[in-house]
């Protein structure tokens, strides 16, 4: 069977889904090819399910047993929601691995699809390293870790990155003994120490053992347990080991038949996300620009505008809002202090408990941090606390337009709210 489309999208993760939606609404005929399950890492295989489980504890919904009992049903419901979200659009879905025949032709099983444009949104998958091979049963990735029907008594998490710490937060709340092994001297590398400290404190209070400054050299199965050899010679034993160290690109089959430049772990693109084949684009993790779900979504939406209206893509990655969905959460936008070494800046804080709304709600932890330069330009705005990720997203346009201390002081913030803490932090700049 041969079919022709305006656009063929390889990959049904968030990048592919949002691009398909925008292009379909813009009048283009779209084929979406997915080799596994819709949603990808961001929605189906880790990020969203972990955040849903953590929200259970953040919102104090009830007993742990209730979460575990409902979990498989929750994942089934998520699959259904993903299917419905795309079936409501005029988009044809093909399940299977897409293979390039040429720059306009993709083969999926026995079907041949031809497209004016082809978008590669195939993402990346977790992978092991030398000495640490993933078996999917005892040495696992996030795909297996989100299945809460087989909770280990003890889990070793390799990597103190965002993924590792989010899973550590979840498993600790579930009563699992957690050991984190991080080769760097700090957790959550890339985040200021004062932002990380409350998260690390909560983990320690939950009994998590944190090993920093030592790399894991080997993981192996012995007598029904996973043993991890650390570089100082110590051996840690657990029921499972979660590997969050590296990811490998999912290059589509047949890409070697095309005139596309590849790096070892990404497809090279220009500012409009176009490869050297003028009708083929790459978005999301596969282009290696920044492996975050919100980046993938925005690249997809902007690429849709480029295809529909020839509007050049203009993304300001420096003003990217970020969040870590731990307990408590970290969220923010702009620069951090570790980015400003050698540059003069000032900092202002407001503890949520010192705000009027924080007092009214009995909030004891968390704060807002504002970083400014000598000309009162706001360089960074960061928060730690319960659900602070909800406060950050729409600050991105303000940063793109140039947010200043005077802007904060001269605009109205609803009283009493926790976001008033931004103004308080500005007033507390020293």
CATH number at residue 106: 3.50.50.60
> SS3 helix, strand, coil % of the chain, rounded to 5?
35, 30, 35
User: Does residue 198 share a domain with residue 182?
Assistant: yes
Task: Decide which of 315, 339, 365 is a domain's last residue.
Answer: 315
Mean pLDDT throughout 90-96? 92
- The better pLDDT of the pair 282, 150 is held by 282
Residue 54 has pLDDT above 80, yes or no: yes
Q: How far is CA 7 from CA 3, 83, 106, 138, 279, in A?
A: 11, 20, 11, 41, 10
Residue 43 has pLDDT above 80, yes or no: no
The whole-angstrom separation of Cα 102 and Cα 257 is: 7
Nearest one of 222, 265, 218, 225 to 243, comparing CA atoms: 218
Nearest one of 105, 109, 162, 136 to 293, comparing CA atoms: 162
User: Does residue 54 share a domain with residue 41?
Assistant: yes
pLDDT at 205: 97
Full residue range of the structural domain in which residue 407 is found: 319-427
Residue 59 has pLDDT above 90, yes or no: no
pLDDT above 90 covers a percentage of the chain that reads: 76
pLDDT at 160: 97
Q: In which band, very low, low, confident or very high, does the pLDDT at 71 lie, cut at 50, 70 and 90?
A: confident
pLDDT digits over 203-253, tens only? 999 999 999 999 999 999 999 999 999 999 999 999 999 999 889 999 999
Q: In what order do the strands lie in the sheet with 329-334?
A: 322-324, 329-334, 378-385, 367-372, 346-351
Nearest one of 162, 121, 103, 167 to 140, comparing CA atoms: 167
The whole-angstrom separation of Cα 272 and Cα 169 is: 38
Q: What is the bridge-based pairing of β-strands 91-95 and 246-249?
A: unpaired
Residue 144 has pLDDT above 80, yes or no: yes
Q: In which band, very low, low, confident or very high, does the pLDDT at 39 lie, cut at 50, 70 and 90?
A: confident
Q: In which band, very low, low, confident or very high, does the pLDDT at 385 lie, cut at 50, 70 and 90?
A: very high
pLDDT above 70 covers a percentage of the chain that reads: 100
pLDDT digits over 245-300, tens only? 889 999 999 999 999 999 989 999 999 999 999 999 999 999 999 988 899 999 99
Nearest one of 421, 390, 418 to 55, comparing CA atoms: 390
User: Does residue 194 share a domain with residue 175?
Assistant: yes
User: Does residue 258 share a domain with residue 116?
Assistant: yes
If you search the block for the tokens 């050899």, which residue do you land on? 229
Residue 413 has pLDDT above 90, yes or no: no
Residue 119 has pLDDT above 90, yes or no: yes
User: Does residue 134 share a domain with residue 229?
Assistant: yes
Tell me, what CATH number does 381's domain have? Answer: 3.30.390.30
**Prediction pTM value:** 0.93
Which residue pairs from 127-133 have beta carbons closer than 8 angstroms and sit at least 24 positions apart in sequence?
A: 127/246, 127/247, 127/248, 128/243, 128/245, 128/246, 129/245, 129/246, 131/217, 131/218, 131/219, 131/229, 132/158, 132/216, 132/218, 132/219, 132/241, 132/243, 132/245, 133/219
pLDDT at 49: 86
pLDDT at 44: 75
pLDDT at 208: 98
DSSP state of 181: E
Phi, psi (rounded to 5 degrees) for 297: -60, -50
User: Does residue 361 share a domain with residue 421?
Assistant: yes
User: Does residue 333 share a domain with residue 367?
Assistant: yes
- Min mean pLDDT across 31-35, 299-303, 380-384, 398-402 is at 398-402
Tokens of 331: 């969220």
Task: Decide which of 293, 315, 337 is a domain's last residue.
Answer: 315
pLDDT at 190: 93
User: Does residue 146 share a domain with residue 10?
Assistant: no
Buried-state track 315-349, b at ≥16 Cβ within 10 A, e below 16: eeeebbbbbbbbbbbbbbbbbbbeeeeeeebebbb
Q: Is the peptide bond before 328 cis (omega within 30 degrees of 0)?
A: yes
Task: Decide which of 227, 245, 263 is a domain's last residue.
Answer: 245
pLDDT at 102: 97
Tokens of 100: 């390039």
The whole-angstrom separation of Cα 80 and Cα 92 is: 17
The partner residues of 371 in beta bridges, in order of sequence, read 347, 380
User: Does residue 272 share a domain with residue 237?
Assistant: no
What is the residue-averaged pLDDT of the chain? 93
User: Does residue 188 share a domain with residue 118?
Assistant: no
User: Does residue 305 share a domain with residue 328?
Assistant: no
- Overall domain count for the chain: 3
pLDDT digits over 334-365, tens only? 999 999 999 999 999 999 999 999 999 999 99
Q: Please check whether residue 299 is in contact with residue 121, taking contact to mean a CB–CB distance below 8 angstroms.
A: no
Residue 179 has pLDDT above 90, yes or no: yes
Q: Would you call 267 helix, strand, or coil by DSSP? A: strand
User: Does residue 285 share a domain with residue 198?
Assistant: no
pLDDT at 19: 97
pLDDT at 67: 86
The whole-angstrom separation of Cα 142 and Cα 244 is: 8
Burial of 364 (0-12, 13-18, 19+ CB in 10 A): exposed
């Amino acid at each position: 069977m041969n079919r022709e489309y305006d656009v063929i999208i390889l990959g049904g993760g968030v990048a592919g889904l949002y691009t398909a939606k925008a292009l379909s609404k813009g009048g283009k005929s779209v084929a979406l090819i997915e080799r596994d399950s819709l949603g990808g890492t961001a929605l189906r295989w880790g990020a969203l399910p972990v955040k849903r489980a953590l929200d259970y504890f953040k919102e104090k919904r009830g007993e742990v047993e209730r979460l575990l009992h409902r979990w498989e049903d929750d994942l089934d419901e998520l699959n259904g929601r993903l299917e419905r979200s795309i079936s409501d659009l005029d988009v044809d879905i093909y399940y299977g691995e897409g293979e390039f025949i040429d720059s306009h032709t993709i083969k999926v099983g026995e079907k041949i699809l031809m497209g004016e444009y082809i978008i590669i949104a195939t993402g990346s998958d977790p992978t092991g390293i030398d000495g640490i091979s993933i078996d999917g049963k005892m040495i696992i990735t996030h795909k297996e870790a989100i299945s809460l029907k087989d909770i280990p008594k003890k889990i070793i998490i390799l990597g103190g990155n965002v993924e590792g710490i989010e899973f550590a937060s979840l498993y600790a709340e579930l009563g699992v003994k957690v050991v984190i092994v991080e080769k760097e001297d700090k957790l959550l590398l890339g985040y200021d120490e004062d932002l990380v400290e409350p998260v690390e404190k909560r983990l320690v209070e939950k009994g998590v053992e944190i090993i920093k400054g030592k790399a894991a050299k080997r993981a192996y199965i012995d007598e029904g347990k996973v043993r991890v050899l650390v570089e100082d010679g110590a051996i840690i034993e657990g029921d499972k080991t979660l590997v969050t160290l590296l990811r490998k690109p999912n290059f589509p089959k047949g890409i070697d038949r095309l005139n596309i430049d590849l790096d070892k772990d990404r497809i090279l693109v220009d500012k409009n996300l176009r490869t050297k084949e003028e009708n083929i684009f790459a978005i999301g993790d596969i282009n290696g620009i920044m492996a975050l779900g919100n980046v993938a979504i925005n690249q997809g939406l902007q690429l849709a505008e480029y295809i529909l209206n020839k509007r050049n893509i203009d993304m300001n990655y420096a003003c990217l809002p970020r969040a870590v969905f731990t307990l408590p959460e970290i969220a923010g936008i702009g620069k951090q202090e570790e980015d400003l070494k050698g540059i003069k800046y000032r900092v202002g804080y407001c503890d949520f408990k010192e705000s009027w709304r924080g007092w009214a709600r009995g909030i004891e932890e968390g704060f807002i941090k504002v970083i400014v330069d000598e000309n009162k330009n706001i360089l960074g705005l960061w928060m730690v606390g319960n659900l602070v990720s909800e406060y950050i997203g729409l600050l991105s346009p303000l940063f793109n337009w140039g947010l200043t201390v005077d802007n904060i002081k001269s605009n109205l913030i609803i009283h009493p709210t926790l976001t008033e803490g931004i103004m308080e932090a500005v007033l507390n700049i020293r």
